[in-house]
Structure 1
Amino acid sequence: MSVHVLALSASHDFSKIPVHEVTLLTGLGVKGDCHLGVTVQHRSRLHITPSPPNLRQVHLISKEALDQRGLVAGDIRENVTTAGIDLLALGRGTQLHFLPPPTPASTPSPPLKTSEHGSENGNDKDETEEGENHAVVVVQGLRNPCPQIDRFRAGLKDSFLVRDGVVRVGIRIVVEEPEGGFEELGCV
């Protein structure tokens, strides 16, 4: 599980531009991105008073979902394109820890998930505690696709339903399940 591509855009253009790294700011989102903010920044929701909290600060999508639809990273406004994570199967409150790639000397292989019992790789090391200097994103829900997605490509809408830190392409992701059990993702 890793970061495949990162993208951002300072303007509300439909697609975002791929970059080598982004800085995630706690409670705000992606530094330099048009959706950065404590309250909602999506044009379709700016009219709501009072402004709701911004639960769409960091847009995630899997490479596999893009591949199935013939899209490339950044096409549909995502900031982080992941590889090897079934994002739609994650529950609300799941934490994604963005950690540096393992060093060649590290054995055994890093776990794919952590839980309240530590890692699943047979040792007692919990990789979510690998220092304080890594970004963490808490999954809040599914973004309901806006009509613009069908203007980008007809029929596309029907196919889709923290801590400061720098994220780089190729960095691995460790999934930490939320305490209290699984809660299905709803639209935010």
Structure 2
Amino acid sequence: MGPAVVAAVSSNEEYSFSKPNRDGITLLAGLGVQGDVHAGVTVKHRSRVAEDPTRPNLRQVHLLHRELFEEVARAGFEVGAGQLGENVTTEGIDLHALPRGAVLRLGAEAEVEITGLRNPCLQIDRFRDGLLKQVVGRDAEGAIVRKAGIMGVVRRGGTVRPGDVITVTLPAGPHEPLDRV
């Protein structure tokens, strides 16, 4: 397997489940994706705004591994980059194995610190009926397994384009596993 790379980038100025693919996106430190509806210092996800609009936005950037598309295709679901609402579609990196606080450098400048797991909701079934069961399940011990990507905050801004190399810097140990944010 080659290096980890950005497979696609997506953003949307309006609330919608899917995000159109772009030639590039600009990450803004402390805010998220320029022009994306989820960018901001405080929460932007509708359900979280309803709970407490003053909470910090730990979901500025949504990253999802392209390999998930192949996995759900085996179960009969056709999904492409941006369709599950992610900003950055990756290839060649196990995002879910990263610890909280890991920093991903995307391309030459942009850096995203991982805050946790995306908590998939019923909107996934509205997009493709039955898909939610493919991205949320249980392991052998009965613990919930979320496979719909990870979330992060922008630590250093920059432009991100498909084909950009991804490098990982792990935080000092002990490492904390990802949990939903």
TM-score, length-scaled by structure 2 = 0.82
Larger Rg: 1
- 1:151 and 2:151 aligned: no
Unaligned runs of 5+ in 2: 73-77, 136-145, 147-154
Q: Report what 2:170 is aligned to.
A: 177
Match of 1:129 in 2: none
2:83 is equivalent to residue 75 of structure 1: yes
Identity of paired residues, percent? Answer: 49
Q: CA RMSD in A?
A: 1.1
How far residue 147 of structure 1 moved from its aligned partner, in angstroms, is 1.3
Q: Equivalents in 1 of 2:101, 2:174: separation in Å? A: 9
Instruction: Map 1:57-76; keep pairs closer than 5 Å.
Output: 57-69=60-72, 70-76=78-84
Flag the structure with higher strand content: 2
CA offset at residue 50 of structure 1? 5.2
Q: 1:89 aligns with which of 77, 97, 122?
A: 97
Alignment match, 1:165:
158
CA distance in 2, matches of 1:91, 1:181: 9
Counterparts of 1:10 and 1:50, CA distance in 2: 19
| Length, aligned pairs only | 155
List, as ranges, runs of 4+ consecutive aligned residues in structure 1 with deviation greater than 3 Å.
none
Amino acid in the other structure paired with 1:185: L
- Residue 120 of structure 1 corresponds to none
1-structure distance, mates of 2:37, 2:93 = 26
CA displacement 1:65-86 (0-9 Å, x = unmatched)? 1221231001110000000001
Deviation at 1:182, TM superposition (A): 1.7
Q: In the alignment, which residue of structure 2 is the partner of 1:112?
A: none
Q: For 2:18, what is the secondary structure of its paired residue?
A: coil
1:40 aligned residue = 43
